[in-house]
Structure 1
Amino acid sequence: MEVENTFRQWKKQCLNKVDLSKKGSVDEDIANIVSMLNDSEKYFTTSSCSGRIIVIDGVSDCLDVQKQNCSWLFVTHQKCQKMDLVSSLERSCGDVVFKFEPFILHVQCQQLEDAQLLHSVAIHSGFRNSGITIGKKGKIIMVWAVRSTHCLEVPLSRKGQVLVSADYIEFLAEVANQKMVENLRRIERFFECLQSAMHHEGLHCRSTRVMEEKSVYRRRRKRTQESRGESCEGSRDTSLSDEDNGLDNGMDLFSL
């Protein structure tokens, strides 16, 4: 009970905080995932990004760029166009880098088994670079993303001088857009797997309660029959329906 109360307190504090991200809101493509997790008693999200294509002006001596807070020259959570990238380069003064970053999500979990369930869902959905961390205060954080070959990071300029051709910029846009399509496909698959896992988890909890209630009922009925001198030998127990007997079918999809 103490663990649950502490977790609820952490969740309330986190969800009541002001969103300090550049966008200031949850990305549309993962809003359903974030809502589902935050609506659950076992989870809450601490940070998220659906995936993005960005052009960043790194270390720069250009005061105008710094004053206008334009270190991020371009960012989108959807596909990009070649002209978006060209236009952003025209405003650069320093070392510009083009990046594609995939979906990333941090979720705090109530119990370790809750984190293990999410980890199983993430791996099953193609998010191989997923993991569980446990803090000193017992905070269990589930993190997943897709890095390695699914990320993209390419330098475009040095001290304001563009180093690549227009054709290469167009090629980068095509590659990043392909990665974005794959990223969104994995997000959709993750959402479907999460729905299935949480649904099965709910069924498991309900079926356990039903079985316990029916077990109590059978014991009480047996005692009543014995007190009346009735014999139970050879009688058929009809307290479990076919539907009850089949509740565990297909429950091992996300077994750990």
Structure 2
Amino acid sequence: MADLPDSPPQFSSRKAKILEQLQLPDTDYTDASPKGSVDEGIKELIAEINAYDGFVTTSSCAGRVSVFLEGVKADSGPSSDPDEEPESRVPNQVASSGGKGGGGKWLFVSHDPLDRSEGSSDATSSGNHWRDQFALPAVDGAAMESMCSISAGSCRPRLIHFKFEPMILHILTASLAHAQLAIKCGLQGGFRESGALNLVPGSSSHAVTPMVAIRSMGLGFESMIGIEQVDGQRYCTVAPEYIAALVTLANEHFAENQRRIQRFREALKESMQGQVKLNKDGMAWEDAAARRERKRAEGLRRREQLRQSQRPATEDPDT
């Protein structure tokens, strides 16, 4: 059972606005996540968190497997991250081509395990199936020559990556106590890199409302699987059996990710059961209806005590 302070007014106001946005249909709603909407796999979790006083989710990703083309690398800077570019709203589809920064873009995104039945139990056939889904033909001689000069000059080919990322969840909290509780539950669930920002108030007139990130970087992995030449032609540079192995590994990580989500969910639910909120004086907080009921019961009890005290004493009859 968690003893948590009441939410400050500025938090309650912001939470109300966020919840209002969540009521919109997916076509109209956008949050701070790359996809811009809540994934089906964690909608129930999001609803549970937002039902607790002192917590509200601001962005989320249930976990995903993606194939992405890195941006054009500047001589002195890293490649652009496709997280800057919104995902396609439809899972397992080629994403929109408009990129930011150096032009990095999503080629394929799925928030669900990749269906092995769509390919074949044979690793080669399965790998070829997914290579076709990623629109990456097998490498030819010219592309292989480009790979050999990958580190030379400004016209080097751009790399294509296969990546799995576990759930990440950002939760705005009403106080340090709320943030500590969310982080504790995240760690219990296996999201070992969970943490918080905004632990110091921006001004003396504002309460601290930390932003918590529930995440586990250790569950993710990434591998290069192809290149895009300077003429825009893309190729797969690994064997189909390797693609099949990556798909199998991603599905295994999806399963572990789901187990961790469930552990986090259960830890938070257990911590919030019988929640006792405290007011500014550190006393147990109660809403107006509960206070009215308590006052009514106290009044009835005092009235009965008064009636009993005013009743004349009676003697027991002789026996």
Normalising by the residue count of structure 1, what TM-score does the alignment of the two structures yield?
Answer: 0.70
The answer to whether 1:37 aligns with 2:49 is: yes
Does 1:88 find its partner at 2:134? Answer: yes
* Structure 1: unaligned runs, 5 residues or longer: 229-256
Q: How does 1:20-31 map to 2 (within 5 A)?
A: 20=31, 21=33, 23-31=35-43
- 1:156 is aligned to 225
Partner of 2:63: 51
Q: Radius of gyration: which is bigger?
A: 2
Q: Which amino acid counterpart does residue 112 of structure 1 have in structure 2?
A: L
CA contact (8 A) 2:176 2:209 kept: no
Between the aligned partners of 1:166 and 1:48, the Cα distance in structure 2 is: 32
Distance 2:137 2:210 in 1: 42
Q: Is the 8 A contact 1:86 1:169 kept in 2?
A: no
Matched with 2:9 is 5
Identify if the C-alpha distance between structure 1 residues 53 and 2 changes in structure 2 by more than 3 Å, giving closer, same or farther.
closer
Task: Give TM-score, length-normalised by structure 2.
Answer: 0.57
Bigger share in helix: 1
Mapped partners of 1:41, 1:26: distance in 2: 20
> SS at 1:156's partner residue?
strand
Q: Residue 191 of structure 1: CA displacement?
A: 1.3
Of the structure 1 ranges 185-194 and 163-172, higher mean CA displacement relative to structure 2 is found in 185-194
The counterpart of 1:189, out of the listed 263, 267, 279, is: 263
Aligned runs of 1:61-210 on 2, under 5 Å? 68-69=97-98, 71-80=105-114, 81=116, 82=127, 83-90=129-136, 94-134=158-198, 137=202, 138-148=208-218, 150-159=219-228, 160-202=234-276
**Structure 1 residue identity aligned to 2:65:** I
Q: Give the distance between the partners of 2:189 and 2:61, measured in 1 at CA.
A: 17
8 A contact 2:136–2:236 mirrored in 1? no
Quick one: distance in 2 between partners of 1:94 and 1:42? Answer: 45
Q: Aligned-pair distance for 1:95? A: 2.1
SS in 1 for 2:134: helix
For 2:13 and 2:278, how far apart are their aligned partners in 1? 27
> Displacement of 1:41 after TM fit?
2.3
Aligned twin of 1:14: 18
Q: What count of residue pairs does the alignment treat as equivalent? A: 214
| Aligned-residue identity in percent | 30
Mapped to 1, the partners of 2:95 and 2:52 lie a distance apart of: 42
- For 1:97 and 1:45, the matched residues in 2 are separated by 29
Structure-1 separation of matches of 2:112 and 2:183? 26
**2:226–2:238 contact (8 Å) kept in structure 1:** yes
Task: Give me the CA root mean square deviation.
Answer: 3.7
Greater Cα offset, 154-163 or 184-193: 154-163
Decide whether the 8 Å contact of 2:162 with 2:223 is kept in 1: yes
Q: Which has the higher contact order (CA 8 A, sep 6+)?
A: 2
Cα offset for 1:46?
Answer: 0.7
Residue type of the alignment partner of 2:182: L
- Alignment check: 8 A CA contact 1:74 1:84 kept: no
Cross-structure match for 2:150: none
Structure 2 residue identity aligned to 1:186: R
